[in-house]
Amino acid sequence: MESPHETIIPFDREYTLKDLLPTELVLGWARAAPRLGVAHLSVVMADGTSLAPEPSEKEVTRAIGDLLAAHRPETRTLGKTHKGWVILTPLVHELEILGSLALGYNPDGNAPTEALDAAGTLLGTAITQILKSGCGLAMASQVHGEVVEETFAVLKEKATQLAKSEKKYRLLATSLDREVKRKAEEIHQAQERLMQQEKMASIGQLAAGVAHEINNPMGFITSNINSLEEYAGELIRFVTLQRDLIGGAQRAGLLAGENEARLLKELQHVDEGADIDFILKDIPPLLSESIDGAERIRKIVQDLKDFAHPGEEKLSLADLNANLDKSINIVGSELKYKATLKKNYRDLPPVQCYPRQLDQVFVNLLVNAAQAITDKGTITVSTCHDSTHAIVAIADTGTGIPKGMLKKIFDPFYTTKPVGKGTGLGLNVVYNIVKRHRGSISVKSEEGRGTTFTLRLPLHRAPPAEEQEP
């Protein structure tokens, strides 16, 4: 069965003298013939026409054609026309006579000599060999031409198919690019939701402690307000009574001599009964204490609100020491009953980052540190920097992490805590946030002695990096 592009070469094609014998070659012989004593040389095809006719030899050519038509020689033939003697040597190729070599002599001359006859024979043999070679060349040329033509056609067809495929794949690539961007956006949004859920889980774990931190100042603020309410009542009663006494005395004309002394004594008695001196002394510290408590509540609520705020934020310059203090304020209730907090801050240059995301990192690590301490321990928060990175270390003197678990702690949903105590997402969220900042996080831990998490964050963050899985 033929393939779609298979070519069949017709090797049984019949060639004519015109196909096999170059016209220029015959013309060269014809011009050289007179030097051999030959009046005329031509190659006549089977139909009697000359292969390379010369206008000046038109009559001779016609006479030779007539002679050839009359005799149809299959061997060398000597004939005579009105133009002279002619030797006709048949030109045979593959047992087929394709034409004749005609050598003509002057009409008035004698028959050709043996030498000229031999020359004609030799030339006829040479032409036969040329025909044979010409046939081989013609066949090779035909094969080559048809193969080249077929190859070109195949290449052209393949080029067309390639162009179609290229267009198809270009459209596919465009579609794939859109799909990849859509999926990347979905993944990004899912990660944002995951971080927000982890925030809410952290807030849920801290809720009781935060409520306690708010209730403490609220307790003394309420007590102070009750005291101020009593003091205000006493002051109002004192001022009202004072005004009534002075007003009544003025109206009765008693503000002189003995009557004035009696009035002052009554006012002094009211003053002592209300303990005005104590009230005036106690009001400023009550107000100051209440203002401090209200500010403490405001700061806890504001820090919690900032921490819980959902959605995207823009890169900005942040003081990591201040962010750490804010995170410590949020988890303060979780820390102070478990550990002594030590700060070892160095001055840091501003760091280009997403501040709220780093707040979540610090909160998660601080809560983990507190939960790792079973009895009273120590949590140390240290900061420093080198020429390219800010460095934050959070160390605890807790139970430590078993060596076999260290490689898994950043995996999603992996937790060493009891059921209900952790989501298994805290450290995974920490890892992804640090990677998003083009930073690194490392952990060193020794069972029974504690754990240290060390963050390295670039001072100047590069363009957004792809989120990476641990």
At 344 the pLDDT is 94
Buried b / exposed e across 433-470, counting CB within 10 Å, b at 16+?
bbbbbbbebeeebeeeebbbbebbbbbebeeeeeeeee
The first and second tokens of residue 192, run together, are 């944002």
Q: Compute the distance between CA of residue 28 and CA of residue 25 in angstroms, rounded to an integer.
A: 5
Greatest alpha-carbon span in the chain: 195
When comparing pLDDT for 158 and 68, which is higher?
158
301 Cβ contact partners less than 8 Å away, ≥ 6 residues apart = 214
* 315 SS3 class: coil
Give residue for tokens 């292969």: 51
**Residue 438 φ/ψ, nearest 5 degrees:** 60, 30
Q: Compute the distance between CA of residue 136 and CA of residue 144 in angstroms, rounded to an integer.
A: 12
User: Which pLDDT tens digit goes with each residue over 375-412?
Assistant: 888 999 999 999 999 999 999 998 888 887 888 777 76
**362, pLDDT greater than 80:** yes
At 419 the pLDDT is 46
Report the DSSP beta bridge partners of residue 454.
Answer: 393, 442
* 4 SS3 class: coil
**96, pLDDT greater than 70:** yes
Give the amino acid at 255.
L
When comparing pLDDT for 403 and 362, which is higher?
362
User: Which pLDDT tens digit goes with each residue over 297-311?
Assistant: 777 677 666 666 555
At 73 the pLDDT is 63
Mean pLDDT of 279-290: 76
Identify the H or E element spanning 455: strand 450-458
Q: Compute the distance between CA of residue 465 and CA of residue 176 in angstroms, rounded to an integer.
A: 21
Got the DSSP string for 40-58?
A: EEEEEETTS-BSS--GGGH
Give residue for tokens 């002094």: 268
First to last CA, the chain: 58
* 330 SS3 class: helix
Q: Is the torsion defined by CA of 191, 195, 196, 200 positive or negative?
A: positive
User: How many other β-carbons are positioned within 10 Å of the β-carbon of residue 271?
Assistant: 14
Residue 300 contacts residue 210 (beta carbons within 8 Å): yes
The first and second tokens of residue 248, run together, are 């009544």
| Residue 91 CB burial class (10 angstroms; 0-12, 13-18, ≥19) | buried
22 Cβ contact partners less than 8 Å away, ≥ 6 residues apart = 134
Mean pLDDT of 243-267: 61
pLDDT class of 116 with cuts at 50, 70, 90:
low
Strands, sheet with 339-344, edge to edge from the N-terminal-most edge strand: 339-344, 377-385, 389-396, 450-458, 440-446
Q: Compute the distance between CA of residue 266 and CA of residue 102 in angstroms, rounded to an integer.
A: 171
Q: Compute the distance between CA of residue 27 and CA of residue 52 in angstroms, rounded to an integer.
A: 6
Q: Would you identify the CATH topology of the domain 313-458? A: Heat Shock Protein 90 (3.30.565)
The first and second tokens of residue 457, run together, are 């964050």
At 138 the pLDDT is 62
Q: Compute the distance between CA of residue 371 and CA of residue 201 in angstroms, rounded to an integer.
A: 15
371 Cβ contact partners less than 8 Å away, ≥ 6 residues apart = 334, 398, 417, 421
Question: What ranges do the domains of the chain cover?
Answer: 198-305, 313-458
When comparing pLDDT for 377 and 184, which is higher?
377
Q: Is the torsion defined by CA of 348, 349, 353, 356 positive or negative?
A: positive
| Residue 48 CB burial class (10 angstroms; 0-12, 13-18, ≥19) | middle
Report the DSSP beta bridge partners of residue 444.
Answer: 452
User: Which pLDDT tens digit goes with each residue over 191-226?
Assistant: 666 666 665 566 555 655 566 667 667 776 777 777
* 435 SS3 class: helix
When comparing pLDDT for 358 and 242, which is higher?
358
pLDDT class of 320 with cuts at 50, 70, 90:
very high
At 184 the pLDDT is 75
User: Which pLDDT tens digit goes with each residue over 415-438?
Assistant: 655 544 554 456 878 888 898 889
